[in-house]
Structure 1
Amino acid sequence: MLVRQADNVLSILEFFAERQGPATVADMTAHFGWPRSSTFNMVATLVERGYLYEPRARGAYYPTARWQVMAQAVAAAEPVPVELIRLLDRLAEEIGETVWIAGAGGLDVVMLEVRESPQLIRYAARPGMRLPIHVTGSGQALMSRMSGAEREALLKRIRYVRYNRNTPMDAETVRGQIAQSQARGWFMSSSAYSSDLGGVALPVKRGERHFAVTAAGPEARVLPRMEEIAAMLRRGIEEECGAQALTAA
């Protein structure tokens, strides 16, 4: 369920992140196609709460640093472990594709930290992006670390919608893919959610938390390299986090 007002506020923040400069209410109204009165009321509320200000006092607004302060406070309470950040930077350089650290969030897998590939044609991803947990290598890697009862309860809640040509369409298929990946030693996806996108993932444990480390890019580049990429992920995890990070116990 999407709560429209909350969605609109987040859209305003994303708008400024892309625009990289002040904007008037008219600019936002034109961009989103919202009624001017509704847009003005949202902007006025954000100004009143200290999240927007007028840098030039001409009716153009821009976010204040309060967003950053709040985000840092939230992240500090449960940050991605520093060794995983170090691992991500290493893998981005070694593999040359987009890499990320993800965690489970209900029926979704959530990207927590991302390093985009510098290549012109690449998988575009960002922190906070959510994907259905059962269709991706990241998600199935995380599901493999759940107890049997927890995984079965999740499989019963999933709506099996066809996103792409290789989307698993029932719980039995997902179970089979997870088992196959565990036997192989790494998880993968290929045009299961995004067209012509291939990815390789491994689960990693830090303390009591489970994460997935993933590299993904165009199938033409990634599919021939899947075993190589999986080996690079495994080696990186072992050297940055220790071999025990790859075990479920």
Structure 2
Amino acid sequence: MDQSVKSARRVLEVLEYFAERQGAASADEIRRALGYPQSSTSVLLRSLASLGYLSFEAETRRFRPTIRIALIGAWLVDEAGRAQDPTKMMRHLSTATGDMIVLGTEQGMDVVYVKVLQATNPIRFHMRQGARRPLCTTAVGQALLSTKSDKQIGAIVRRVNAERPADASPLSPQEIIDKVREGRKLGYYLTKGTVTPGAGVIAMPIAGLGDHPPLAIGIGAPIYRIESEHDRFLELLRKEVRQTSATAS
């Protein structure tokens, strides 16, 4: 990987780490969480501090983001309208379920979880913010595919197959298209144990975000909770998505 690309990726990973932590952290805590070498972690954090994106608390030797980070994206929130802020939906769902809430967007052939609210229930799964998952075979990914035409979905599946390892079974474009169509009829997408054994996700696309890239929101939980709470989770998701669509219209 090109060194400049690697450095840029690390900057964003540090910012995503703080977004999930929501508090100050030492260089060693950041290094261990992200798996960086000690020397490069210190250089990176000092550079971000010198540019005004992080502040350094000398007494505790901990870093924290400055308001400059929030101001960079403030115009996006204003443009979409606060009533349509997806993080508000996530907080409502997190409070109502105690399970993990994920917000995903498409990036290449993957879903990137741009925001994750970790579960508070005793039995739970953990997802790192910024994690990537397959677009075609996950609930959040299929919810995002539902915004595309069959032709576009088929092209994506063929591209995925072209880049899969030689010993991996190819995906069927028609099967993926059929799954997306079925989800459109049902109004939601559900996968169980597709990526993480024992874990399931129920997801829906979010409408009414204007010119912003499509987003999908999902509830992730142990499969037994997905099954036992299926109807309640579905109604909670529908309520939040309906409110966003109504506000947009």
TM above 0.5, one fold?
Answer: yes
Identity across the alignment (%):
21
Distance in 1, Cα, partners of 2:36 & 2:108: 32
Matches of residues 19-98 of structure 1 in structure 2 within 5 Å? 21=24, 23=26, 27=28, 31=32, 32=35, 34=37, 36=39, 38-56=40-58, 60=61, 62-65=63-66, 68-73=69-74, 75-76=76-77, 79=80, 82-83=83-84, 84-98=86-100
Distance in 2, Cα, partners of 1:132 & 1:104: 10
Distance in 2, Cα, partners of 1:122 & 1:29: 23
Name which of structure 1's ranges 167-176 and 130-139 shifts more when overlaid on structure 2: 167-176
Superposed CA offset, 1:68-96 (max 9, x none): 33544364365575244444333333344
Q: CA separation of 1:93/1:149 partners in 2, compared to 1, >3 Å: closer, same or farther?
A: same
Q: Is the 8 A contact 2:110 2:133 kept in 1?
A: yes
Distance in 2, Cα, partners of 1:125 & 1:70: 26
Q: What number of residue pairs does the alignment pair up? A: 237
Structure 1 letter corresponding to 2:105: G
Matched, 1:180 2:221: no
Residue aligned with 1:153, SS: helix
Q: CA separation of 1:69/1:195 partners in 2, compared to 1, >3 Å: closer, same or farther?
A: same
Distance in 2, Cα, partners of 1:29 & 1:242: 41
Equivalent residue for 1:213? 217
Matched, 1:111 2:113: yes
Superposed CA offset, 1:137-174 (max 9, x none): 11101101112332222222225769xxxx98443332
Distance in 2, Cα, partners of 1:123 & 1:28: 21
Distance in 2, Cα, partners of 1:195 & 1:18: 26
The answer for unaligned runs of 5 or more in structure 2 is none
Distance in 2, Cα, partners of 1:56 & 1:213: 39
Structure 1 letter corresponding to 2:194: A
Equivalent residue for 2:122? 120
Residue aligned with 1:206, SS: coil
Higher radius of gyration, 1 or 2? 1
- How far apart are residue 107 of structure 1 and its match? 1.9
Structure 2 letter corresponding to 1:34: P
Distance in 2, Cα, partners of 1:92 & 1:19: 16
Residue aligned with 1:110, SS: strand
- How far apart are residue 230 of structure 1 and its match? 2.2
Q: CA separation of 1:28/1:6 partners in 2, compared to 1, >3 Å: closer, same or farther?
A: farther
Superposed CA offset, 1:12-45 (max 9, x none): 5566675955646xx4797446263x45543443
Structure 1-normalised TM-score? 0.71
The answer for unaligned runs of 5 or more in structure 1 is none
Equivalent residue for 2:138? 136
Equivalent residue for 2:236? 232
Q: Is the 8 A contact 1:99 1:116 kept in 2?
A: yes
Structure 2-normalised TM-score? 0.71
Residue aligned with 2:207, SS: strand
Q: Is the 8 A contact 1:52 1:61 kept in 2?
A: no
Distance in 2, Cα, partners of 1:221 & 1:40: 42
Distance in 2, Cα, partners of 1:143 & 1:236: 20
Q: Is the 8 A contact 2:23 2:64 kept in 1?
A: no
Distance in 2, Cα, partners of 1:63 & 1:161: 40
Equivalent residue for 1:102? 104
